[in-house]
Amino acid sequence: MNVSTGGRQLRSRVALTAFVSAITLIPGLSYAAPNDPGPTAGGPLEQIRSQLDGLYREAEVATEAYDAANEKATEQTKRLTSLQGDLAHTQGRVDALHGLAGAAARAQYRGDYFSSAGFQLILSDHPENALSDAAQAGRTSDTLANIYESQKTARAELDRQTEAATNNLRELKKTLADKADAKEKIQNRIADAERIEAGLKSEQVDGLAQLEKQKADEAKSKWPGSGSDGGPANKGGPGGGPSGGGPAVSGSAGQAVSFAMAQIGKPYGWGDVGPSSYDCSGLTSVAWAHAGHPIPRTSQAQWQGLRHVSLSSAQPGDLIIYFHDATHVGMYIGGGQIVHAPRPGRTITTAPAASMPILGVVRPGG
């Protein structure tokens, strides 16, 4: 075997070793809260509420980015694992062909007959058995030429797989860095909001609660077709809406609504998909998966991937997407109400469907 062949094999081994080693160098994802003092409580109630809403809104935007990066990283990791398996298989094939070529060359030098049986075995899924069989056979020049051609093809495939795995690893590292950046931003914004809330006086806390109730009451009248109760007639028992008086929702939509309603009182947890805590899209995606209709994980992917319906035709189980960038989602339960995971520091609850800027409505399950 010539020197260039050995050099190519050595380079392939070095590339594979470097690639595998690089996987262990992915940085951790833990970040400390910032040391700067950040905003503080003060000013009129509307200003304080605006500050808090802004900070929690930024945290939610970052949460959606975190969730999206987490989903992407999961898929990339699966792909990387598959590529590693392909690499190991192809490397074994290259090694076996290298040994077989050496045996054939030695047999040719001795003038022995080297049959194609060993070559055929090397093309099977168990090349480790081929060398002993091939060594017992003779040789032909055609077989030796075929072995060299197979080596060339296998090395080209190994190079291709190594490049694909290296690129995938590079993409995974970037995705994890995006995920870490989003996590840091979430932590920073929540810490800022908590500093404001910690500095509030009791009368300010009461005033903010009253202001929030006032805003919720105003939102009821904004829902299409709302009456004195703030919503259309799609109300019912479990899975049908927040109160009785109408038919309950059946089928998969009813199952999704029932599941989401059963989570009321559990805390919001950014990036969480239950069972003890959820973020907004974690709640809706798990609820619909429970109903037998898996949907995309993030609110942005739900907005992009599910069927859009008009606001006026919203039915219980539909998802209402909020804000221009589709970074919040709630499940419509009828009666002009949604069930949702609002934000850090809050628990899963019902709320007026029009309490936030509505982007549109999507319908899972067909």
* Half-sphere exposure in the Cβ direction for 124 (13 Å, CA): 11
Q: With contact defined as beta carbons under 8 Å apart, do 307 and 295 qualify?
A: no
Distance CA 73, CA 183 (A): 14
| Sign of the four-CA dihedral 226, 216, 182, 276 | negative
Based on its alpha-carbon atoms, the radius of gyration of the chain, rounded to whole angstroms, reads 31
Distance CA 226, CA 335 (A): 8
Contacts 24+ apart (CB under 8 A), 130-137: 130/96, 130/100, 131/96, 131/99, 131/100, 131/103, 134/100, 134/103, 134/104, 135/103, 135/107, 137/107, 137/113
Question: Is 280 known to be catalytic?
Answer: yes
Distance CA 328, CA 299 (A): 6
332 strand-pairing partners: 338
Helix, strand, or coil here: 308? strand
Distance CA 340, CA 319 (A): 10
Among 89, 308, 324, 340, the one annotated catalytic: 340
Among 89, 280, 308, 324, the one annotated catalytic: 280
Distance CA 164, CA 13 (A): 16
Residue in this structure with the two tokens 């995971």, named with its chain if needed? 341
Question: Is 328 known to be catalytic?
Answer: yes
Supply the residues annotated as catalytic: 280, 328, 340
